[in-house]
A and B are shown apart, each in its own frame.
Chain A
Amino acid sequence: MIELDLELPLAGFALRVATRIDGGVTAVMGPSGSGKTSLLEAVAGLRRAARGRLALDGDVLLDSARGVALPPEARRVGYVPQDAGLFPHLSAGDNVRFGTRADAAAVASAVATLEIGGLLERYPASLSGGEKQRVALARALATRPRLLLLDEPLAALDVALRERILPYLLRVRDEWKTPALYVTHNVGEALALAGGVLLLRAGRVEAQGSPFDLLASTGLAAASPLGVENLLPGRVSAHDAEGGVTTVELGTGLALAAPLASERAVGSRVVAAVRAEDVIVARRALEGLSARNLFEARVAALSRTGSDVTLRCATPASGPEWIVRVTPAAVASLELAVGQTVFLAVKSHSVRLV
Chain B
Amino acid sequence: MSSRYFGARIRRNEDEALLTGRATFVDDVQLPGTLHAAFVRSDLAHGLLRGVDAAAALERPGVMGVFTAADLGEYWQPGPLLVPPAPIEGLTFHARTQVPLAREKVRHVGEPIAVVVAESRYVAEDAVEDVIVDLEPLEAVADVRAALAEGAPVIHEDLGSNLAAHAVQTKGDYDAARATADLVLGRDFTYDRGVSAAMENRGVLAQWDERSAQLTVWDTTQAPIPIRNGLASMLGLSESQVRVVAPFIGGGFGPKIMMFYPDEVLLPWISMRLDRPVKWIEDRFENFFSTTQERGQLHEAEIALSSDGRILGVKDVFVHDTGAYDPYGLTLPINTQCTLLGPYDVPNYYSEFRVAFTNRPIVTPIRGAGRQQGVFIMERLLDLGARELGLDRAEIRRRNFLSPDAFPHDHEILFQDFAPLVYDSGDYEPALDKAIELIGYEPEGPVQSEPGGASPAEDGGEGTDGEDGEGSSRRKRLRGTGIVSYIEGTGIGPYEGARVRVEASGKVCLVTGVGTQGQGHFTSFAQIVADQLGVGVTDVRVVTGDTREFHWGTGTFASRGAVVAGNACHAAAVAVREKILRKASEILEVAEEDLMLTEGVVRVQGVPDLSIGLGELALRSNPLRGAVEPGTEPGLEATSYFGPRRGATASGVHAMVVSVDPETAMVEIERYVVVHDCGTVINPLIVEGQIHGGVAHGIGNAFYEELDCDSEGQLHNASFMDYLLPTATDVPPIRTAHIETPSPLNPLGIKGVGEAGAIPVAALFAQAVEDALKEWAPGLEVRDIPLSPNRLFALIEEARAGGGEEGA
The yes or no verdict on A and B being binding partners is no
Interface residues of A (CB under 8 A from B): none
Interface residues of B (CB under 8 A from A): none
